[in-house]
Amino acid sequence: MPSHKNGATLNGVPLGEGRGRLDSLFLRATLLAFLFAALFYDSAHLLARTWAGRDDYSHGFIVPFISLYLAWADRERLKSIEARPSLTTGLFSLMIGCAMLIAGNAGGISILEQSAPVVIIPATVLMLLGARFVWALALPLFYLIFMVPVFDYFILRAHWPAQMLTATVAAKALGLIGVPVFQNMQFLELPNISLEVARECSGVNYLLSIVAVGIPLAWITQAGLKRRALLISFAVLVGIIANSLRVTLIGVWGYLGGVVVHGPMHVFQGFFVSMAGFAFLFAAAWVMGIKKGPREKKAEELVPFNWASFNGKKFRSAWMVLVLMFIATIGFTRIHGIGEAGLDPQAFNPLSEGVRGWSARQFVNSFRANGADLESSIIFRNGSGRELMFYLGYFASQRQDKEMVNYSLNFLYDNSEEAEIVGPNGQRFKVNRAIVKEGGRRFLFLYWYDINGRIVADRRLSKLYTVVDGIFRGRTNGAIVVLSGDVTEDGALKEVYASETELASGLMPVLKDILGASKAMPGK
């Protein structure tokens, strides 16, 4: 065994050998960082766009840095853990993460591509270092989930209760200070102004940021699970109260004659909730007391780094498999091209001729599918004078900001239920039915997706078909078809629904011919 001439050692290992292992580990870390950068380049770009464009995920910019700090703060304990690579379980987890990345990239499904790092990073730790390291790094690894928009399902369902709670508390508060107010559901009627606690005003969007900041703050400043949970719960409660206070102040401001609804200099905008939540969060941490950090260890007490566990045969095997998996995934996402399935705008002409008992005329529809390459908006009218609005949005390909299924259509998804229509040849199709309120009126929507001839109601199934077509056919084209009718008048719902199903049945063969004319073009 080579050794330094004066017998010097590094953590119990002869100095020359320790330096060699350090150099080897540094090279591996450098290569890993390079592969991570190449692997997550697109994911990071998508995440950054989400953080910059959505108030409820603006905290995403600091999440990776907080995660790194939480891991660094626990470095002394990590140094005492022996690396025991878990090749089988780690590889399985890694394959799931890479499959998510490939599927998201090929199918233009941004949520899969954005979520992939949250799976791949823990899988990498498990594969190279073992389950004990994953457990020790549970908090920083789990915390990464806060940078990905995966909480939309829960946020959407929390909006309505939060709207009602905010309106109720604000109405009570306004009454207590002598401002006359009448509450009608989420509406607050004052003598000179009418306020609506809309979905955007529910305050739910900002609670996620408060929790995302509260978790690391509680972990760093408080000792014990109960104290940490108490601090986070307190921050959420303050956020809810702050939103009710915000609406109350808007009511007072409007009652006193304020022209700008959100107050002078717009101080009563939604960020009021997060700023109040953060202020009380840090104040509560200070009041509850900052836990004392561990005493500084003397040099002789520091745990030596276990170089041997990073140089064994099992570690080298796991490393090689990991590198090969990363290279294969990077290669597929970079080489595999998605072509655009072009469609001649003239293909929409048969729609303007009407459909079996329905005349047609063009109009400008307020309903739009963001990113659609071609659109057709028509008003169909039957012999009895019933008018229905029709919209078709065709996507030659799908990618970020060009997806048929995206959050801008949440107003449909929230109120949808499946329905069934019968085509002219007796074939049955599943579609979606939803009632949407807009400007004091109610509209019945009937809509479905066409994925290369497949009529799909379920938006998740449409994404699955898009992924399959993207991977195996190199195309992600599709269309969303929407019918809507006014059902504001009493008794109109049944008649409009019957008319929409009749029109949808007549449209099916026409749309099949139109959308079947799409021609795939080479991937870019």
Nearest to 250 by CA among 240, 238, 259, 263: 263
CA distance to 67, 136, 275, 277, 482, per residue, from 291 (Å): 20, 20, 24, 21, 58
Place of tokens 């500084």: 296
- What is the C-alpha separation between 9 and 12, in angstroms, rounded? 6
pLDDT of residue 124: 92
Query: If you ran DSSP here, which 8-state letter would residue 310 be given?
Result: G
Q: Is 418 helix (H, G, I), strand (E, B) or coil?
A: strand
Query: If you ran DSSP here, which 8-state letter would residue 465 be given?
Result: H
Please list, residue by residue across 186-219, b when 16 or more beta carbons sit within 10 angstroms of its beta carbon and e when fewer do. bebebeeeebebebebbbbbbbbbbbbbbbbbbb
194: which strand partners? 189
Side-chain half-sphere exposure of 462, counting CA atoms within 13 A = 25
- Pair of tokens at residue 161: 């209760």
CA 108, chain centre distance (Å)? 14
User: What predicted TM-score, i.e. pTM, was given to this entire model?
Assistant: 0.69
- What is the C-alpha separation between 509 and 424, in angstroms, rounded? 8
pLDDT of residue 92: 93
pLDDT of residue 79: 77
- What is the C-alpha separation between 339 and 332, in angstroms, rounded? 15
Which helix H or strand E contains 193, and what residues bound it? strand 193-196
pLDDT of residue 164: 82
pLDDT of residue 195: 76
* Per-residue pLDDT of the chain in tens (524 residues, 90 and over written 9): 444 444 444 444 444 444 555 556 678 778 888 888 888 888 888 888 888 877 778 888 888 999 999 888 888 788 777 778 888 898 999 999 999 888 888 777 778 888 899 999 999 999 988 888 899 899 899 999 988 888 776 777 777 787 788 888 888 888 787 778 777 777 777 777 777 777 666 667 777 777 888 888 888 887 778 888 888 787 777 777 777 777 787 777 777 765 555 544 344 555 566 676 677 777 777 777 665 444 444 444 444 555 555 666 788 888 888 889 999 998 888 776 666 777 777 878 888 888 888 888 887 777 778 778 888 888 998 888 888 999 998 988 877 667 788 777 777 777 788 888 887 777 888 889 988 887 678 888 999 999 888 888 888 888 888 888 888 877 888 899 999 888 888 778 888 888 888 888 888 888 888 887 665 544 44
Q: Is 443 helix (H, G, I), strand (E, B) or coil?
A: strand
Helices H / strands E in the chain, number of each: 17, 15
